[in-house]
Amino acid sequence: MGLKLGDIAPDFEQDSSEGPIRFHEWLDGKWAVLFSHPADFTPVCTTELGFTAKLKDEFDKRNVKAIALSVDSAESHTKWIGDINTTQNTLVNFPILADEDRKVSELYDLIHPNASETLTVRSLFVIDPNKKVRLTITYPASTGRNFHEILRVIDSLQLTDNYKVATPANWKDGEDVVIVPSIKDEAEIKERFPKGYTAVTPYLRLTPQPNR
């Protein structure tokens, strides 16, 4: 059984490109993006790790830490990071877990036998400050992740954690949001959403993003 939304992300201690990491301690009350790769020196993953490094300022603005995983050794990771830095014109600024014993892979259900009995699939988890899993995505080996989408989801999650809203299809930060159906009292709506709202239907009520 894989991790479900709302589950506590399993704790672990594992070596990494930046030394041993105890995961819950490393989280330090922040959001996290944990993403796995089948092996070092793989082309699609090289572009992904490079792009993640370039997004550091965007992650920092959202109080998010990035951490990657591969089943190769920390020594191998160090050599791979050299390639990533050179080919992607960046500096890797987050740890890559060295999961040689597959300990973390087993905890996070990253070994899918129908895909490979030894290599991890390319899964991604967004974990909140309460250590709860808030998003899971598993990609095919041939398709690079869209990290702009990951940031968009984090923006949505952080917004909906602080306000009783949901975000509509293709929503981007700054656009109108949806008042959740559970709020029915007009006085509460006026208090929570002083900019007003548009009722497209009784259950679809759009309001300007509250924190803008």
User: Which residues make Cβ contacts (< 8 Å) with residue 134, sequence separation at least 6?
Assistant: 5, 126, 127, 128, 157
Q: Are 73 and 102 in contact (CB under 8 A)?
A: no
Whether 184 is a known active-site residue: answer: no
Q: Is the backbone of residue 197 left (phi > 0), alpha (psi -120 to 50) or beta? A: beta
Burial degree of 165 (CB within 10 A; 0-12, 13-18, 19+): buried
Q: In whole angstroms, how far apart are CA 22 and each of 10, 51, 80, 93, 163?
A: 11, 25, 23, 18, 32
Q: Which of 45, 53, 64, 159 is catalytic?
A: 45
* 3-class secondary-structure state, position 148: helix
Separation of alpha carbons 40 and 16, rounded Å: 13
Could you list the active site residues? 45
